[in-house]
Amino acid sequence: MYGRKGFKLVSELDVYSDILPFNEALIKEVLQEMQSLYDANVANSNAIRNDNNMALLPSVQLRHIALKRNKRCILAYIYNRMRKLKELRWELGSILPPEINTNLINAEVQWFQSYNKSLAKYMRSLGEDHGFNLTTNMVPPKTLYVEVKCVEDFGKLELDDGQVILLKKNTYHLLPRSVCEPLIRQGILEHKRISRVNINSV
């Protein structure tokens, strides 16, 4: 049945929310199917032209539809992986964790770097001099400080006022919300709770 492999490609997208390893093998199979469909159509078209064998026409049409569908499935597969990658840029930052990188094909790694570059250039163009970072301040600000638990060793963190905090696994901290946001998204910190804080005691 034509297009079954193309369908399999697309189904991979639905079921999982993370980016799976790029299914190079399946892509190759779909491309091979396209090639043989195409070759068959070339042969049939010649026969139609030369021998006026119109009976072949429906087969040609069917193969043509299957070809278009296969192309569509492949492009949908690539496009949707790209969309997930794009989301990850906003969620995790400009460097992807190794466990995601290993699932990408080289062209996707290239795409991610180009997107990064493009985005950085755009953000730098905002405002008069130093640009404006669009990857922070993504949630409505609530309190200035948040209580967080460090769940992964991170090391030293320097705050805007020069203070240096050591983020060790299983330690608790009261930190400025804007500093925590990206670290929480990256899974290094976890909300303890939004606290009622007497700033003067910090």
Partner 1 sequence: MDPCEVEFLSEKELVSIVPNFSFDTIHLISGSVGPFRAGLPVKVPIWLAVNLKQQQKCRIINQDWMDADSLNEAKEEEKLSKLFTKMPSNHYMEEAQLLLNVASDDISDADRIKTAIKDIWDIRMSKLRTSIDAFLKSEGLHAKLDHLTAMEINSVRPLLPHALDQMLRIQTGGRATQSHYSGTSQ
Partner 2 sequence: MEDNGDVTMTAEDDGQEEEEVTAQSVLLAIEEAWLNEKFAPEILPHRSDLVDCMLQQITHMEENMKRLDKEDLRLMIHRMELDRIKYVITNYLRARLEKIEKYTIHILSQEATRSSEECYLTVAELQFAKEFLANIEMLFKTIALQHMPGNFQTFEVDTLTVKPNLQAYVFLRANDRINGIIVPGSMDEEIDLEPGSQHIIQYSAVADLVKSGAVKLI
The option from partner 2, partner 1, none interacting with 196 (CB < 5 to 8 A, set by class) reads: partner 1
SS3 108: helix
DSSP bridge pairs for 164: 158
Question: Where does this chain touch partner 2 (CB under 8 A) — which range of 12-20, 54-62, 105-113, 146-154?
Answer: 105-113
Question: Where does this chain touch partner 1 (CB under 8 A) — which range of 28-36, 65-73, 78-86, 138-146?
Answer: 138-146
One-letter amino acid identity for 141? P
Burial pattern 120-144, b for ≥16 Cβ within 10 A else e, equals: eeeeeeeeeeeeeeebeeeeeeeee
Q: What character string, x for contact with partner 2 (CB under 8 A) and - otherwise, covers 153-172?
A: --------x-----------
Q: How far, in Å, CA of 132 to CA of 149, rounded?
A: 29
Residues touching partner 1: how many (CB under 8 A)? 9
Q: How far, in Å, CA of 75 to CA of 5, rounded?
A: 13
Q: What character string, x for contact with partner 2 (CB under 8 A) and - otherwise, covers 106-145?
A: -xx-xx--xx--xx-xx--xxxxx--x-x-xxxxxx--x-
Cβ closer to partner 1: 49 or 193? 193
User: Can you tell me which of 127, 140, 155, 162 binds partner 1, judged by CB under 8 A?
Assistant: 140
The option from partner 2, partner 1, none interacting with 69 (CB < 5 to 8 A, set by class) reads: none
Instruction: Give 136-152 as a DSSP string.
Output: SS-S----SEEEEEE-S
Does residue 38 bind partner 2 (CB under 8 A)?
yes
Nearest 5°: the CA angle 112, 153, 140 is: 60
Which of 175, 172, 173 lies closest to 145, judged by CA?
175
Q: What is the DSSP letter of 201?
A: G
Residues in contact with partner 2 by the rule CB under 8 A: 27, 31, 34-35, 38-39, 42, 67-68, 71, 74-75, 78-79, 82, 86, 105, 107-108, 110-111, 114-115, 118-119, 121-122, 125-129, 132, 134, 136-141, 144, 161, 177-178, 199
